[in-house]
Chains A and B, each alone.
Chain A
C-alpha cells in the first residue's frame, strides 16, 4: 500500500516540474513588460528601468531565471502581487478558504443529491423517475453555468428576494477569521445570525457550482449501478434470500461506488474551473475571481503563482483519489 503511494508520488514529480515550467513560461509569454507594469502609471526613467531589470533578475539567462523561480517556490516565496503589493502567498491563503468552502458545499450538494438519484434511477430503470432524472442531469451539464447562476439570481434574489446577490456574508457582520471558513468561524464565535447569513450567501453559489458535478455524479452512479446489478454476485445475494434493500444498498452499492469515487475526485478539477465563473457572478472573494482579475490586470506574479498553486492542488486531489480508490477496492488493497 505504501509502495503504491510512493510510486504514484514518484510518477508525479516530473509532471509537477513540467507544471512549474509551464507556469513560468506562460507568464514570460504574456504580452506587456513586467517592469512597466510594476512601475504603474508613473512610468519609469530609462536608468531606473535598467536598475529594476537587474534587481528582479530579468537580465539573467532564461534558465537561470527559471531556477531562481523554482528555488523561490520551494522555499515558499511566491513573489509579491503587482497590484496589491502584498505577498502572493498571503493573498492566496486569505482567498483560498473562500473557494474551498464554496467547493465543499457544492460537492456536498452534488453527492447528497446525485448519488441517491443515480441509485434510484438504476433500480427503477426505464421508469418516469429514471427518464426525468436523467433528463434533468443531461440538461444540468449542458447549461453554461454562468447563465444558470444569472437565472437563479434573477429568480431567487430578484423576484423572490430570498437570497443575497453577492458576497460571503452580510456586511454588518465582521470578525477576524480563524479558519477562513465563514460557516465554521461564525459557529466558533457563537454568532448564530452570522452563521445563518453565511449559509444564505452560500446557497445559490453552491448550487450553481455543484450543478455540473451533480449531473455527472448522478449519471455515473446510475451507469455503475446498472452494470453492477447485472453481475453474478448480485444473483447470489438474491439467492441467499436477502431483502432487496440489502442487496442494493450493501452488495451493489459497495461495488458501484468504486468508479463513482474516482469520478467525484475528477470533478474537483472541474470545480476549480467552474469556480472562476461562479465567483465572478456572485462576487465571491475566492481564488477563481482572483485569477481572472489578475489576468485582466496583467498582474504576472499572481498569474504565475496562482497557476502553479491551483495546478498543484488539483494534482494533490487526484493523488488523494488514487489512494482512496486503492483503499476501497479490495482487489488493489489486498494482494
Chain B
C-alpha cells in the first residue's frame, strides 16, 4: 500500500508557473519550421525589401517615372556602350528612366497583389463557407457557378470581363479577383465540410451556438492553413495576370509604370533595345519568385503531414 502511495505521489506532475502564452508558442513553432527552409526566408527578405521599395519609391527613384528626356531616348544601361550613369538601367522609347519606372512599378504590383487577394479571399471564403456549411441547394448553386467560372481559361475570362468593364487597372483587378476566387471558395468549402463533422463543432452547436458564430468563430479558424497557402499563390498569380493584361493593352494603361504595361510598348524594340524588355520582366520574375518561395515555405511549415524531420 505504501509503495503505491509513494509512487503515485512521486508521479504527480510539478505545478507549472509561467506557462508560455499558447498563441506565441504556436507562432514560434511555425517560425522554427519556416526558417529551416532557406529559400523561403530569402523570399521573405526579398519581399520585405520590395515592400520598402514600394513605400519609399518617390525617395529612392532617381527620376520621376513620367519625366521624358527627349535627348535621352533608348539609352542603353550604364554598363553598355552609350550608357549614361544618370540612367542606370537605360531609358525607354520616350526617354523615361527605366529604373525609376521599375521602382514606382513595384507600388502597382504590390497593390494589385493585395487588392486582388483580399477581394478574392473575402468573396471566395464567404461563398465557400456558405456552401460547405449549409449544403443542400445553396451548395449546388454556388459550386456550379464556380465550375462555370473555372471552365473558362483564366486569362480569357479576365480579358472578356475587362472588355465589358473597360480597360484600366482597377477593372483589371476586379476581373482577376473574380477569376481567382473560385479557388478560395472550393478550398474553404472542402475544409468546412471536413471540419463540420468533427466533435468540437457538434459540442459547440449543442451548447447553443448560432449559425454565424459556428461558421466564423468555430470552424473557420481551423481551415486557415490551406487558405494562407492559396493566398500566397493567388498573390503571385494576380501579379502575373495583371502583367499579362497590361501587356495585351487591357490592364493598366500607359503611361502607368506597371511592369506588364511597360512590356507592351517595348515589344517593337526587342531587337534594337533589348533592355527595355529585359528589366520589367525581370522585376516581375523576382517578385513572383520571392512570393512563391514564401508560399512553399508556408505550405511546408503549416502542413504537418509534409513536415520533414
Contact = CB atoms under 8 A, between A and B. Distances in A.
**Is there direct touching of A and B in the complex, by C-beta distance under 8 Å?**
yes
Interface of A: 14-15, 18-19, 22, 26, 29-31, 135, 138-139, 141-144, 146-148, 150-151, 153-154, 158, 269-270, 272-274, 276-277, 280-281, 291-292, 295-296, 303, 307, 310-311, 314-315
A277 B244 contact: yes
Nearest to A266: B150
Given A142-B236, A151-B277, A311 B270 contact: no
Given A151-B277, A307-B160, 15 more contacts: A22-B148, A30-B164, A142-B285, A143-B284, A144-B260, A144-B285, A147-B281, A158-B274, A269-B150, A270-B153, A272-B156, A276-B155, A276-B159, A276-B248, A311-B151
B160 A310 contact: no
B43 to A, nearest CB: 10
Given A146-B247, A273-B154, A18 B148 contact: yes
Interface in B129-188: 144-145, 147-148, 150-156, 159-161, 163-164, 166
Nearest to A155: B274
A295 B162 CA distance: 10
Contact of B156 (A19, A150, A273): A273
Main SS at interface, chain B: helix
A151 B164 contact: no
Nearest to A275: B153
A154 B274 contact: yes
Nearest to A143: B285
Interface in B186-228: none
Given A154-B271, A295-B159, A144 B281 contact: yes
A68 B284 CA distance: 45
14 contacts: A18-B144, A18-B145, A30-B164, A144-B243, A148-B281, A154-B271, A269-B153, A274-B155, A277-B155, A277-B248, A295-B159, A295-B163, A307-B156, A307-B160
Nearest to B264: A146
Nearest to B267: A150
* Interface size range of chain B in the complex: 35 or more
A150 B263 contact: yes
B267 A30 contact: no
Given A154-B271, A154-B277, A144 B160 contact: no
B281 A151 contact: yes
A321 B243 CA distance: 30
B292 interface: yes
A276 B241 CA distance: 12
Given A15-B151, A280-B248, A144 B240 contact: yes
A22 B152 CA distance: 10
Contacts of A18: 144-145, 147-148
Contact of B160 (A141, A158, A272, A295): A295
B164 to A, nearest CB: 5
Contacts of B67: none
A57 to B, nearest CB: 21
Contact of A314 (B151, B164, B278, B285): B151
A276 B249 CA distance: 13
Q: Which of A14, A141, A146, A291 has the most CB of B within 10 A?
A: A146
Given A31-B164, A150-B263, A272-B156, A14 B248 contact: no
